[in-house]
Amino acid sequence: MRTQVCIIGAGPSGLLLSQLLHRKGIESVVLERKTKEYVLGRIRAGVLEHGFAELMREAGVGERMDREGFLHDGTVIAYDNHQFRVDFAARANASVLVYGQTELTRDLYEAREAADGKIVYNVEDVRIQDADGDAPYVEYNVGGQGQRIDCDYVVGCDGFHGVSRKTIPETVRKEYEKIYPFGWLGILSETPPVHEELIYANSERGFALCSMRNENLSRYYLQCPLDHNPEDWSDDAFWEELKRRIPEQAAEKLITGPSIEKSIAPLRSFVTEPMRWGKLFLCGDAAHIVPPTGAKGLNTAASDIYYLYHAMVQFYVDGEEEGLDRYSEKALARIWKAERFSWWMSNLLHLYPEQGEFDRKMQRAELEFLESNESAQRVMAENYVGLPF
């Protein structure tokens, strides 16, 4: 098989790149180690920066997103049973869109299928060959049968545990990592959200987040020790603890119900450099991970796709390679800013095991400064809604 771009990973970033390239007449094949149903079954975040939403529209898959998504013009920060609002529209002249990643991915699948896009599922033993040469190709197995795709470029959208990043020799890549000493216990419940916007809560008992997927589907999180298991927490215990960590006025309005999904996610900051090696490009979790505080995970993947898509169009349409040559540089410049913001939000809102009284006082001072200072709110709002590409 021959194609122009071989994309490894049929999550939202791989599908989005494939769809954008298709609309410019650039061929691609997407390889996925799981099934479509498995990919759509993964529960992920759904806060889209305004730039990501524009990219979805450019890909021709924004109609349902615009119809069913929820525009958020701000967010609530809470501490010590007190809360204040950061107004994104006033401070940054932009908003975010709440639209579940599952629904976004479903829209992309439908678009690729409608265009007869080539997606190969249940691939095993993927091997990226000659990525540092002039004629890269990808070998893989499906149902025990060996297959090969020859291509111009390979794009790794296959996540942290995928093969793409590990293809780059250890002598070439450098990895930066911070492991946080806690996790997020999250539940999904078929209940109305407690508030029309997200609530980020700093509490002496630990961090809490109230978020939403739609009018009757809510997502809530609690900071918890890394050695906890979801089975350690009954639904009643979760709801009671959440009420203790959020302001009373929110706790009184909270509608509880059975959880339909419960999990614990560890928090990590991770970046690998470079994001290009020869004809191989890394995107999304294959190259970087941010803590979920600040809602940057999916959005950082979208920024990678933005840079790579435009670079490939520049190459295939205009014959210019500058965009491809500068892809890693441009992508990493924005990634490190997103890492900084997620690190700052995490430090602002979580209770750290090693925190002393001085550290807690400084955290409180930072929260009070953010509440009272318009410039600080503007910096937060500009980062939350998304820095320019």
CATH number of the structural domain spanning residue 228: 3.30.9.10
CATH code, domain carrying 100: 3.50.50.60
| Spatial distance between the Cα atoms of 306 and 300, rounded to a whole number of angstroms | 10
Q: Please say if the pLDDT value at position 186 is more than 80.
A: yes
Question: What percentage of the chain carries pLDDT values higher than 90?
Answer: 95
Q: Is residue 107 part of a domain?
A: yes
Q: Is residue 90 part of a domain?
A: no
Instruction: Provide the 10 A C-beta neighbour count for residue 179.
Output: 10
How many structural domains compose the chain? 2
Q: Please say if the pLDDT value at position 47 is more than 70.
A: yes
Which pLDDT band holds residue 182 (cuts at 50, 70, 90)?
very high
Does residue 274 have a cis peptide bond before it, meaning omega lies within 30 degrees of 0? Answer: yes
Q: Is residue 111 part of a domain?
A: yes
Q: Please say if the pLDDT value at position 192 is more than 70.
A: yes
Residues 172 and 150 in one domain: yes
Which pLDDT band holds residue 41 (cuts at 50, 70, 90)?
confident
Which pLDDT band holds residue 308 (cuts at 50, 70, 90)?
very high
**CA nearest 136: which of 128, 126, 148, 125?**
128
What type of residue is 106?
A: R
Which pLDDT band holds residue 43 (cuts at 50, 70, 90)?
low
Residues 16 and 155 in one domain: yes
Q: Please say if the pLDDT value at position 44 is more than 80.
A: no
Confidence (pLDDT) at 237: 97
Residues 30 and 119 in one domain: yes
Residues 142 and 206 in one domain: no
Q: Is residue 362 part of a domain?
A: yes
Residues 120 and 164 in one domain: yes
The residues annotated as belonging to the active site are 72, 200, 292, 296, 384
**pLDDT averaged over every residue in the chain:** 96
Which pLDDT band holds residue 214 (cuts at 50, 70, 90)?
confident
Map residue 113 onto helix, strand or coil.
helix
Confidence (pLDDT) at 54: 97
The residue-averaged pLDDT of 255-259 equals 96
Confidence (pLDDT) at 46: 84
Q: Please say if the pLDDT value at position 18 is more than 80.
A: yes
Q: Are 271 and 282 in contact (CB under 8 A)?
A: no
Q: Is residue 87 part of a domain?
A: no
Residues 210 and 295 in one domain: no
- The domain of 166 spans 5-72+95-177+268-345
Residues 36 and 122 in one domain: yes
Which pLDDT band holds residue 260 (cuts at 50, 70, 90)?
very high
Q: Please say if the pLDDT value at position 29 is more than 80.
A: yes
Question: What percentage of the chain carries pLDDT values higher than 70?
Answer: 99
Residues 21 and 103 in one domain: yes
Confidence (pLDDT) at 365: 98
Q: Is residue 78 part of a domain?
A: no
Residues 111 and 170 in one domain: yes
Q: Is residue 164 part of a domain?
A: yes
Q: Please say if the pLDDT value at position 45 is more than 80.
A: no
Residues 210 and 190 in one domain: yes
Q: Is residue 82 part of a domain?
A: no
Q: Please say if the pLDDT value at position 120 is more than 70.
A: yes
Residues 205 and 64 in one domain: no
Q: Please say if the pLDDT value at position 146 is more than 70.
A: yes
Reduced to 3 DSSP states, what percent helix, strand and coil does the chain have, rounded to the nearest 5?
A: 40, 30, 30
The residue-averaged pLDDT of 132-144 equals 96
Residues 216 and 358 in one domain: yes
